Amino acid sequence: MAFPKGFLWGGATAANQCEGAYDVDGRGLSRMDITTAGTLTERRQVTYAYPDGRTGKGLTIPTGAHGAVLPGEYYPNHDGIDFYHHYKEDIALLAEMGFKIFRMSIAWSRIFPHGDESEPNQKGLEFYRNVFEELHKYGIEPLVTISHYETPLYLEEHYGGWNNRKMISFYTHYVETLFKEYRGLVKYWLTFNEINITIMFLEMLGGKADDAAYQQAYQQLHYQFVASAQAVSIGHQISSDNQIGCMICGIVSYPLTPDPQDIMKNRHAWEQNIFYSGDVQCFGEYPTFSKRLWDAHDVHLDITDQDRADLKSGTVDMYTFSYYMSSTTTTHAVENDAQGNFSIGAKNPYLQYSEWDWADDPAGLQYYLEVIYDRYHLPLMIVENGLGAVDKVGADGSIHDPYRIAYMAEHIEAMGKAIANGVDLVGYTSWGCIDLVSAGTGQMSKRYGLIYVDRDDAGNGTFERRKKDSFYWYQNVIQTNGAAVAVPQV
């Protein structure tokens, strides 16, 4: 299988899921720091306190209370996998695998602990500088997500987070700081992780979200689009080397039946969940179907002429996305719904599902790549893909994970087919290349890594790193630029 010369093989992480050191060196809190662990069936909760000292936990912070870290609660993101103190060892392992690129995010609250300060926290800047320098020591390019589910909690509580237009200037101040500070060290940037998820989440509620929820979600998204576009323009002014991308949660959706109503519903699902965000960020304007989406929920947006100009002048240089699974859409009653975190729709009878009910669908990745390239004609990068599974450490310390190798091999083969069909795919970063805390469930046992980390769901473990079988397999894939990708029989 021929991958283009210089193809960017690597892996991906996010600060809140791996760094730990949540209160070290001046870092402020973000929502993940007050979020407890969950399971596949129990949702993660947030903990809070009232001014009179009463405390509690639930799915949201009630009016009058503020997010608080409470004694006796377990917060898996507080320690993550302690990348903060292990980054040298971890980067050496990534280099041993032959990584060309490493996707990571910056914790906004490490740079601006509250988010509204004018001066950055020097200790935070220093940490990331050290990480970038360490990566360059091995010839690994950093790919940096500027915001990966970690807005400073202070901004949420004192300004209403992304409901407030002021967030645009807090964000651009933050990104300008990063672009200036890391000029020459970082050239690949992503503005917001899975920006489309705000709307997708509402769809996952299966019709339970009311119009007010849609109004709020579309407005938040608009402010993020403007912030992202301004960031692209600022990034280009600061360095012509900067290549700045959008990042879309790419869940492929198929009609469950050939009923024309299902075909239409599925097309509309693509428009709402995938194309809406991609079109604004790649074309610099809202697509025609936006009016239909807004009218369906009586949404009226605060959009200024300046916003429209900003969107137009800040279109992205590349389209990046996550891909784990596909889903289905139907107008018919179904009995067999996928029940996993982040998974939606009726189960597809042609696909296998993971322990977390995520559909294993490599053809869906090829489909997505071809549809998206045809639409935008921009370089594409898959910046998340992988299998969350339970791994067992053998008596001799080995970790055999043929299921992960099979999943990755099939997906890399699908990438090869899309490339052969003309798609300009420039890179692939497998998700959680080193085990980390699951975003959806807070579990450590939902492992994606090629490197195992000794840590369990209750916070026990030594943080020792071990190479899984997939480590050696991926090393070989990279060494041969994708030639040695054969799908093993599990």
Query: Catalytic residue positions?
Result: 194, 384
Question: Taking CB under 6 A as the rule, does residue 438 contact ligand BG6?
Answer: yes
**DSSP string over 134-182:** HHHHTTPEEEEES-SS--BHHHHHHH-GGGSTHHHHHHHHHHHHHHHHT
Query: What would the two tokens of residue 4 be?
Result: 């283009």
Q: Which residue in the set 27, 44, 404, 446 belongs to the binding site for ligand BG6 (CB under 6 A)?
A: 446
Question: Taking CB under 6 A as the rule, does residue 431 contact ligand BG6?
Answer: yes
Question: Taking CB under 6 A as the rule, does residue 14 contact ligand BG6?
Answer: yes
Q: How far is the CB of 356 from ligand BG6 (least distance, A)?
A: 7
Question: Taking a C-beta distance cutoff of 8 angstroms, is the pair 430, 450 a contact?
Answer: yes
16 alpha carbon, distance to own chain's centre: 11
Q: Reduce the DSSP state of residue 192 to 3 states and report it.
A: coil
Question: Taking CB under 6 A as the rule, does residue 250 contact ligand BG6?
Answer: no
Q: Which residue in the set 36, 147, 191, 193 belongs to the binding site for ligand BG6 (CB under 6 A)?
A: 193
Question: Taking CB under 6 A as the rule, does residue 327 contact ligand BG6?
Answer: no
Specify the stretch interacting with ligand BG6 by CB under 6 A; choose among 279-287, 344-352, 436-444, 459-467: 436-444
Question: Taking CB under 6 A as the rule, does residue 343 contact ligand BG6?
Answer: no
Count CB atoms within 10 A of the CB of residue 117. 16
Question: Taking CB under 6 A as the rule, does residue 15 contact ligand BG6?
Answer: no
Q: What b/e sequence results for 388-423 when a residue is b if at least 16 CB atoms lie within 10 Å of its CB, and e otherwise?
A: bbebeeeeeeebebebbbbbbbbbbbbbbbbbeeeb
User: For residue 142, what are the β-bridge partners?
Assistant: 102
- Could you give the count of Cα atoms lying within 13 Å of 179 in the half-sphere of its Cβ? 24
Q: How far is the CB of 446 from ligand BG6 (least distance, A)?
A: 5
Q: Which residue is nearest to ligand BG6 (CB)?
A: 440
Residues binding ligand BG6: number (CB under 6 A):
16
Question: Taking CB under 6 A as the rule, does residue 346 contact ligand BG6?
Answer: no
Specify the stretch interacting with ligand BG6 by CB under 6 A; choose among 2-10, 117-125, 367-375, 431-439: 431-439
Specify the stretch interacting with ligand BG6 by CB under 6 A; choose among 160-168, 213-221, 228-236, 435-443: 435-443
Measured distance CA(101)–CA(91) in Å, rounded: 11
How are beta strands 101-105 and 141-145 bridged, if at all? parallel
Sequence-ordered list of residues with C-beta below 8 angstroms from that of 133, at least 6 positions apart, any chain: 185
Question: Taking CB under 6 A as the rule, does residue 457 contact ligand BG6?
Answer: no
Listed residue (351, 361, 349, 352) closest to 325, CA to CA:
361
Site for ligand BG6 in 22-81 (CB under 6 A): none
DSSP state of 439: T
Measured distance CA(66)–CA(51) in Å, rounded: 8
Listed residue (430, 248, 439) closest to 341, CA to CA:
439
Q: Which residue in the set 45, 198, 277, 341 belongs to the binding site for ligand BG6 (CB under 6 A)?
A: 341
Q: How far is the CB of 421 from ligand BG6 (least distance, A)?
A: 26
Q: How far is the CB of 14 from ligand BG6 (least distance, A)?
A: 5
Question: Taking a C-beta distance cutoff of 8 angstroms, is the pair 366, 417 a contact?
Answer: yes
Q: How far is the CB of 322 from ligand BG6 (least distance, A)?
A: 5
Q: How far is the CB of 410 from ligand BG6 (least distance, A)?
A: 18
Question: Taking CB under 6 A as the rule, does residue 388 contact ligand BG6?
Answer: yes
Q: How far is the CB of 341 from ligand BG6 (least distance, A)?
A: 5
Question: Taking CB under 6 A as the rule, does residue 440 contact ligand BG6?
Answer: yes
Question: Taking CB under 6 A as the rule, does residue 322 contact ligand BG6?
Answer: yes
Specify the stretch interacting with ligand BG6 by CB under 6 A; choose among 80-88, 165-173, 214-222, 437-445: 437-445
Query: What would the two tokens of residue 243 be?
Result: 């290549």
Q: Which positions touch ligand BG6 (CB under 6 A)?
A: 14, 17, 193-194, 249, 322, 341-342, 384, 388, 431, 438-441, 446
